[in-house]
Amino acid sequence: MPGGARPASATPIVLSVAASQQHPDGTDRNNGTGNQATYELLHVLGKGSFGVVMMARVRETGNTVAVKKVLFDGRLHNRELLLLRDHLGPNSVSEQPVLASPDNSGTETVKNDHHSTNNLALKAGTPPIGDATPTPTIVPHHPSIVRLLDHFTASGPNGEQYLYIVMDYLPLDIHQLHNMYVRQKQQRMPIMLVKITMFQVARALAFLHSRGICHRDVKPSNLLIDPETGVLKLCDFGSAKVMQPPGVNGPREKNVSYICSRYYRAPELLLGSLYYHFHIDLWAAGCVLAELLCGEVLFKGGSTVDQMAEIFKVLGAPSRQELFALNPQSAEALLHASGADLEVPPASAASAATSSDYLQRYHALRIKALQWQNVLPPNTAPAAVSLVGELLRYTPAERLSAAEVLEHSFFDDIFAEDACLPSGAPLPVSMFEVTAEEMETLPHWLLERMASAEAFARRRLAEAGDDGKNMPQK
């Protein structure tokens, strides 16, 4: 993690990437840039079962980037790379996986597509929505989603292959930023920063969902932020998946239920449902919002069963209809056993064990729901209370969509002419820039508000004599 960065090695490891090399199929990888990239790996930011994430400096430009290193198996696809490259890049990008070749020079020279999004210019002066109607600046990449800057493979000391994914670097994540406020005895983030954070989260999710992608691991540590500029980017697409459109009766594609970090896991996942959709991301976003408002995790269970019990304590007993909406198999087993004091029959391997465990604490189902204004801190604004309540609902289809979240009155303040960060700095311009796709999908009135807010932010930057400071690194 950025806050716990430590040296990657006594001497920075250097990866020298030759842009002039070719695809395995023989096509030119140069793309006319003629550039070579040399990455100096400086600090370890985080480790996990997935591999390691490091902070690096691009020697040719001086830019700071994040480099994710994972074991590479040429027989398998890396889901995160495929999503970032083929589904979340500019519409014109469609590169193929790459293979490495060692060099004898002492540094590692590898084949790569060296597709740097730095070379894509912003497109301003876009066609107006209506006569004399302001429009936001159109950008090639979504400003609230981490960008794939480069990717390549290289050989390790024992001949093993590693995949390197180069992405945007931001110094903190929301979990770390929240802890900073706690250490400063402020207990919670300023409400304006909460609104800025959640607006960018909702924008990222709305864009993902419009492209059929479910993130499946929304949590504070996957929300990268620059506290000086307010720029936020959703990261870590290792669990993300392109989902099939739901059918008339709901999701029809079978997925794994053991997904998403426990504190942010939707109740349908806790009940073992294998048929779910984008709604799980909105539940997680609601948990993040409540956490930022409260200053602590809302549902903090020590196990899967405890997690569901913590949800019961706040949302109360789910009705029969809600149980069936979450997972019909688990619901049938629970209701049957509770009425006759019987053990749960093994209806399916996915739900039987889960349901049996929940029966041990079935008394929790008799708890009545609490009012959200009694759960959240005193004097929490009604709009904030409303948004939490509209996201944290048992029935998945009743939760707001990410696009609907963007239209919520909770965010009205960020469009004000005098809106600013808690430090007094202007709001990040990137928060109001849009992709060409969003120009077609977002409501006209929201686009107009975003265009005006972008103009306010740019003017404040110019007045401060520091135009461009709050722009994300290009």
Task: Name the residues annotated as catalytic.
Answer: 217
- The H or E element containing residue 224 is strand 223-225
Distance CA 224, CA 401 (A): 22
User: What is each CA distance from 381 to 236, 384, 420, in whole angstroms?
Assistant: 32, 5, 19
Nearby residues of 81 by Cβ (< 8 Å), 6 or more positions away: 97, 148, 151, 163, 165
Helix (H, G, I), strand (E, B) or coil at 150: strand
Closest among 90, 83, 88 to 122, alpha carbons compared: 90
Whole-number Å distance between alpha carbons of 169 and 56: 9
Q: What six digits make up the tokens of 182?
A: 């706690």
Residues 6+ apart with CB under 8 A from 180: 172, 227
Find out whether 161 and 71 touch, Cβ atoms under 8 Å.
Answer: yes
Of 40, 63, 71, 31, nearest in space to 155 by CA: 71
Q: Can you say whether residue 123 is alpha, beta or left, with left for phi > 0 and alpha for psi between -120 and 50 degrees? A: beta
Tell me the two tokens of residue 28: 């030119």
CA dist., res. 174 & res. 295, Å (int): 12
Which H or E run includes 193? Answer: helix 191-210
69 is in an annotated binding site: yes
**452 CB-contact burial (10 Å; exposed 0-12 / middle 13-18 / buried 19+):** middle
Distance (Å, rounded) from C-alpha 330 to C-alpha 324?
8
Residue among 447, 427, 435, 432 at smallest CA distance from 120: 435
∠ CA(346), CA(348), CA(351), 5° rounding?
A: 90
**Nearest of 326, 188, 190, 195 to residue 251 by alpha carbon:** 326
| Beta carbons of 18 and 108 less than 8 angstroms apart | no
| Residue 223 contacts residue 245 (beta carbons within 8 Å) | no
What tokens were used for 430?
Answer: 């990137």
Residues annotated within the binding site for ATP are: 69
